């Protein structure tokens, strides 16, 4: 992420990528790329069942919240 932030001249790479996408009218949400809201629970279950290296432990509720934010196109927190 540091390299991306540096390339974009920003401190916060995820937020800078979101703003870049917004500036260029790219899809910002899972909804815009065709994911149904009814699929968020299943996606959270699948992600929790397939753990991968992550700085924080993967918990289904937290994953569901992240997916909800992505579904609605909210900027990264």
Domain assignment present for residue 14? The answer is yes
Q: Which residues contact 57 (CB under 8 A, 6 or more apart)?
A: none
45: domain range? 2-72
CATH number of the domain bearing residue 12 = 1.20.1090.10
Answer whether residue 39 is part of any domain: yes
Helix (H) or strand (E) holding 19: helix 13-23
- Which CB contacts under 8 angstroms, 24+ apart, belong to 3-9? none
Question: pLDDT for 10-56, tens place per residue?
Answer: 999 999 999 999 999 999 999 999 999 999 999 999 999 987 888 88
8 with 20: CB under 8 angstroms?
Answer: yes
Contact 18, 75 (CB under 8 A): yes
Query: Is residue 77, in this structure, part of any structural domain at all?
Result: no
Structure tokens at 60: 């289904």
Q: Is residue 41 part of a domain?
A: yes
The answer to whether residue 68 is domain-embedded is yes
3-7, 32-36, 52-56, 70-74: segment of lowest average pLDDT: 52-56
Q: What is the count of structural domains for the chain?
A: 1
């Amino acid at each position: 992420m540091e390299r991306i932030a540096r390339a974009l001249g920003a401190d916060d790479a995820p937020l800078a990528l979101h703003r870049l996408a917004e500036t260029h009218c790219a899809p910002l949400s899972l909804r815009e790329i065709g994911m149904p809201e009814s699929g968020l629970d299943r996606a959270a279950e699948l992600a929790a069942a397939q753990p991968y290296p992550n700085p924080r432990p993967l918990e289904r509720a937290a994953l569901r919240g992240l997916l909800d934010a992505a579904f609605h196109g909210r900027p990264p927190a």
